[in-house]
Amino acid sequence: MKMDAKYSRLIETCLTAVKNRVYVLLSLLLLVSFIVILVDKSATGLRPVFASEDKKADANQPSVQQQKDPNEGKPSRPDHKHPAFRERVKERIEMVAEQIQARDVNDPNVLKAMRIVPRHVFVPSTEQRYAYADYPLPIGLGQTISQPYIVAFMTEALKLKPNSKVLEIGTGSGYQAAVCAEIAQEVYTIEILEELANSAKEHLKELGYKNVFVKAADGYFGWKEKGPFDAIIGTAATGRVPPPLLEQLKPGGRMILPYEDDIGFQYLVLITKDDKGNIRRKNVMPVRFVPMTGQVQKPETESKK
């Protein structure tokens, strides 16, 4: 019987110890559960507040959800997938180095565009061997594709930006439009000779220039419904600057075109319009372009009617 009492006390002692440990574990579990509940309830107060959720946020600051791609809805830039972009690359690199950079055209965007655009696509098959030569070439119908240096010089003078909207008067082959389209957001180009307009449109479409829009019309009147324009470039010589083009040039915009004086001397004239609409002109280089045709050739009094 003594042994039984001894074992009974031992068992009782063990049970008491177990109970105490169970109480401790239960207490710890309750404490942990309480902490988890507190953290969960206060979670919204601990996480960062975004502008879209904070009523005190700056009303002019768009939320993350409201921010949009600035180019959304605008014409796509060329993707350069056409094989022509990979052809005669060395010739274009040499053309830029020897004909353009050597004559102080240094805008990196212009130099890049001149290296990219495959000029040989815009040149007739009979003139292919001279596609990257340092002079203009005939393209048919009495028209020419301009000398590469002149194309680069005129493009640099416009000081184009990635969001610029450009108007070109005299599409010709489409080469100048393609160079501008490598830099600017949109290029609207007008050609008075429908056959040339259609040919240029086809070449530009084939090369993937979705941001160039071609119209067969008289460039004298510009393209009012698409204006105003950040830049206007003319590729045919005129004896006077068409008033509609001045009107369609944005304040702060730049225009360059070949001008022919009374004795037949031609030079490039750079025209700028300030924020108040004041026009300034500057003669920048002697040139030789084909003449602009259409309304501009009529007497000035008749053109105003």
Q: Which of 93, 234, 252 is nearest to 159 (CA)?
A: 252
Collapse the DSSP code of 147 into the 3-class scheme (helix H, G, I; strand E, B; otherwise coil) and give the result. coil
Contact 280, 184 (CB under 8 A): no
Q: Which of 239, 105, 102, 247 is nearest to 179 (CA)?
A: 105
What tokens were used for 153? 């010089």
Known catalytic residue at 173: no
Contact 179, 151 (CB under 8 A): yes
The gap between the terminal CA atoms of the chain, to the nearest Å, is 136
Q: Which of 51, 177, 22, 153 is nearest to 100 (CA)?
A: 153
The span from the CA of 301 to the CA of 282, in Å, is 25
Collapse the DSSP code of 265 into the 3-class scheme (helix H, G, I; strand E, B; otherwise coil) and give the result. coil
Contact 236, 295 (CB under 8 A): no
Q: Which of 52, 125, 146, 164 is catalytic?
A: 146
Active site (catalytic) residues: 146
